[in-house]
Amino acid sequence: MIQNSPGPRATEGGAVPNTDDRSPPTGILGDQHVQSEVLEGLAMAKNHRRWFVAFATPYLGDDPIEVSAGLGDYAAEWLEHAPRMTLTEADPGRLLALKERFSANPGVTVRELMLPSDEAGGHSAAVSYNVLEHIEDDIGALRTMRSLVRPGGHVVVVVPAFPFAMGPADVATGHVRRYTRKTMRVALTRAGLEIEKLHYANSLGLIGYYVSTCLLRQLPGPGPMVKFYDSTVAPVTRLMERVVRPPFGQSVIAIARRPVN
């Protein structure tokens, strides 16, 4: 039950946070210092990260850009599949950390990016993991991602699912919404993107997250629950969802692309 954004620490054995999330791009609610602490404490969830890395890998192409790359844990794995990559951040501290981490890699460019913006580019893909839920103008942010990729390039988005799961942890970490497949479809279409795949992932994670954060009112943070989730729940759920696509999940996975014409 990995949560969909970094947030305040829990007491020992508290709710499990989400290694999927990035830093809030700009102008959102939430404690950035605490969010950074959670991000740093969640590198342990390697199985979960590899599972979600795989959703974007086939669509990266030769020159992808990650929107709000956080501490760069996802990027480090995607770089095994892409000859070069651009990593962006809005938070100055994380931007500096990314530059230091990838300073020895000539194929990596690190730069600031605020969303939405008027920037354009010719990247092969734009990848955004757990960013849109922090942004009031999510359509504008998606249009920025559309502009960053070349015609035919992919936009891969992961966002937290189901408004009923919006609880104190979401509020504390600056979420302004959670999505369904329907609302994600509307947002992508309004942004001028063509949808290729749209589905839920991490069904067991949603159940655990709802119980721990909405019913038990726990706030997320690293601890033994992360280790248990990553070693047991995540591998089992991933295996199950290879066979049957679930009708619900903790995340919405969207694969879209910029129209050629």
Percentage, residues of the chain above pLDDT 70: 81
Number of H helices, E strands in the chain: 10, 7
Measured CA to CA, the distance from residue 172 to residue 119 in angstroms comes to: 30
pLDDT (tens digit per residue) in 200-256: 999 999 998 888 778 877 666 667 777 888 899 999 999 999 999 999 999 999 999
Question: Residue 1: what pLDDT?
Answer: 56
Query: What domains can be seen in the chain, in order of their start residue?
Result: 32-257 (3.40.50.150)
Tell me which residues of the chain have a pLDDT lower than 50. 5-29, 34, 37-38, 41
**Position 107, amino acid:** G
Residue-averaged pLDDT of the chain: 85
Q: What is the DSSP string of 118-186?
A: -----EEEEEEES-GGG-S-HHHHHHHHHHHEEEEEEEEEEEEB-GGG--HHHHHTT----B-HHHHHH
Say how far apart CA 131 and CA 206 lie, in whole Å.
18
Q: Which two tokens stand for residue 74?
A: 């996802």
User: Whole-prediction pTM value?
Assistant: 0.86
* pLDDT confidence of residue 215: 82
Structure tokens given for 78: 């995607």
Predicted local confidence at residue 31, as pLDDT: 53
* CA dist., res. 60 & res. 156, Å (int): 9
Which residues, 6+ apart, have CB-to-CB distance to 160 below 8 Å? Answer: 4, 5, 18, 130, 133, 170, 175, 178, 179, 250, 251, 252
